[in-house]
């Protein structure tokens, strides 16, 4: 296939990924209308873990990590697929789908800060300005919903949990730099899924027992499959193909489409009409993230132009671990 056609198909695949992840917020909100958050996780994660395991088995490389790395893989699995997922699914249940997507999209800002604290990379003034702009955008998104907010507000608590989820994901990606450099993104993604899935299933058993699964609608079951297979397994394959063909930085640009798709879907499907301040906040968040990414890319000599491996992006700069895992849209 001609190179131009390969790159065009890779671009189309990444647009599909942004759509899958953006729609996923609304899909899960609808499913959460019939299933408890813990029950939903207990149903979708075994599917995702099995699908990723089949993909891993079909690719060359070790089936399991070395014993010396096992403790870190387990710890990453607990942080990224238990603590993160609990904050994500409960936060999504409590807040708006559009808010959830925007607040989770701030992960690159936290990742840049954690990378700096860990000594992985220095931050430029432009990158810091981008992070600061992102924080301003967060405030506008939370405060611009047009309703009175109190400390006992359920939606405010949901927003807070999404921010905690965002910082947990950033911590998870920064801590994963060492093992992902040895094993690659596919294996680390799959191994940490294998660690987290049994815990999520055990946590969800009481909710499953209390749920009349026979009464769950067909549409909700399709949503479970969508959230377990399309938003994780299929999206990962398309993202990995994009990184391999287009490079890290060009692929990273498409992640900015996710909150746009999520806001549009929530507006049309769920009737979540964003307020003026929220739209301004969304624009500031996306602008700040883009500025921070390009500032770090310019500083590192645009390493993303080299497709150096399967590292789905959450920030820029190849030295950063932020690209190694599917973003927290799943």
- For the segment 224-230, the average pLDDT, to the nearest whole number, is 94
Strand segments (E) across 11-149: none
Could you report the per-residue pLDDT of 296-323, keeping only the tens digit for each? 565 555 443 333 333 343 332 333 333 4
More confident residue, 191 or 306: 191
Do the beta carbons of residue 175 and residue 54 sit within 8 Å?
A: no
Please tell me what DSSP assigns to residue 327: -
Could you report the per-residue pLDDT of 157-186, keeping only the tens digit for each? 999 999 999 999 889 888 887 888 888 888
For residue 188, give both structure tokens. 């680390």
Give pLDDT, residue 285: 79
Give pLDDT, residue 252: 66
The reply to whether the predicted model has a pTM over 0.85 is no
What phi and psi values does residue 78 have, to the nearest 5 degrees?
-70, -45
More confident residue, 127 or 146: 127
- For the segment 272-277, the average pLDDT, to the nearest whole number, is 82
Do the beta carbons of residue 288 and residue 280 sit within 8 Å?
A: no
More confident residue, 311 or 240: 240
Could you report the per-residue pLDDT of 64-100, keeping only the tens digit for each? 999 999 999 999 999 999 999 999 999 999 998 888 8
Give pLDDT, residue 328: 61
pLDDT grade for 156, boundaries at 50, 70 and 90? confident
Do the beta carbons of residue 229 and residue 47 sit within 8 Å?
A: yes
> From CA 121, how far away is CA 114, in angstroms rounded?
10
């Amino acid at each position: 296939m001609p190179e131009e056609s390969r790159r065009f198909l890779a671009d189309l695949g990444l647009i599909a990924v942004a759509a899958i992840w953006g729609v996923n917020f609304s899909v899960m909100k609808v499913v959460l209308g019939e299933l408890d958050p813990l029950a939903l996780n207990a149903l979708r994660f075994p599917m995702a873990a099995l699908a990723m395991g089949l993909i891993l088995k079909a690719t060359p490389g070790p089936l399991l990590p070395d014993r010396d790395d096992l403790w870190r893989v387990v710890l990453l699995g607990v942080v990224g697929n238990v603590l993160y997922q609990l904050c994500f699914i409960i936060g999504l249940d409590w807040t708006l789908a559009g808010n959830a997507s925007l607040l989770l999209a701030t992960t690159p800002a936290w990742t840049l800060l954690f990378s700096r604290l860990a000594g992985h990379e220095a931050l430029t003034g432009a990158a810091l300005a981008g992070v600061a702009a992102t924080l301003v955008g967060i405030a506008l998104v939370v405060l611009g919903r047009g309703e009175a907010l109190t400390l006992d507000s359920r939606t405010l608590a949901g927003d807070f949990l999404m921010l905690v989820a965002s910082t947990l994901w950033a911590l998870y990606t920064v801590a994963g730099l060492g093992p992902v450099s040895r094993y690659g993104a596919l294996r680390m993604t799959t191994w940490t899924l294998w660690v987290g899935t049994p815990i999520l299933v055990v946590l969800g058993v009481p909710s499953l027992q209390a749920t009349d699964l026979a009464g769950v609608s067909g549409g909700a079951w399709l949503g479970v499959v969508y959230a377990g297979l399309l938003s994780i397994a299929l999206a990962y394959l398309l993202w990995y193909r994009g990184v391999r063909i287009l490079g890290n930085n060009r692929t990273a640009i498409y992640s900015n489409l996710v909150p746009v798709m999520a806001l549009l879907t929530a507006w049309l499907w769920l009737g979540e009409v964003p307020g003026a301040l929220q739209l301004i906040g969304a624009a500031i968040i996306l602008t700040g993230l883009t500025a921070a990414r390009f500032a770090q890319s310019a500083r590192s000599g645009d390493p993303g132009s080299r497709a150096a491996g399967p590292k789905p992006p959450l920030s820029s700069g190849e030295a950063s671990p932020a690209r190694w895992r599917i973003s927290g849209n799943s």
